[in-house]
Structure 1
């Protein structure tokens, strides 16, 4: 028997802002809102499917240092350049983590500065 990832938790100052951003990026919907301000987003079919949900957990003070986990995304219905333009239009911004410029991926940051990568391969939608 094995385990699988069911949820990713991302601490942030403004869960609603990041929920809107990541819902647009991933074609997710808001699944739940908690009294503490946390927002859970995920695929339209809800929790427990092929993709993990993301819990955006309210935290007033950002954690110091570099995150040891980041999200990689792949385009599903367009090429990497078109997806890059779409993500920048949603509020992502380029991030420099020491890449050379020769990588086949783009390093970006969400509206709160959480780094993620846009990979080149186009994946089939689930």
Structure 2
């Protein structure tokens, strides 16, 4: 059994470890300290951006990794993919960072005006336009 750091770790002690046979050595529920519900309302399309504020005290390696990812706007779905955690765990980690002011979020922008994006006529018009291009 050989344990190796995840790609991109470059010798960092804050990165999760993998076992070549078993996979991730730290289980997801450990990352979120057993919590399953985030304190903030987030969906997979929510954009996250670091504020530059550093959290008081130690949060964990995933929190540090997420802060590095959020130097530019990034979606919750992208963050979950990069840190290799389920979306529910990622949302808990992001909630921790939101609660201490280290990140800010913006939910998906829904059009306030204009046609309903789920209107059948609008969807058929889009489909017709796509078919004419093919």
Same fold (TM over 0.5): no
- Give the alignment's TM-score, normalised by structure 1: 0.22
- Give the alignment's TM-score, normalised by structure 2: 0.21
Higher helix share: 2
> Between Structure 1 and Structure 2, whose CA radius of gyration is higher?
2
Higher strand share: 1
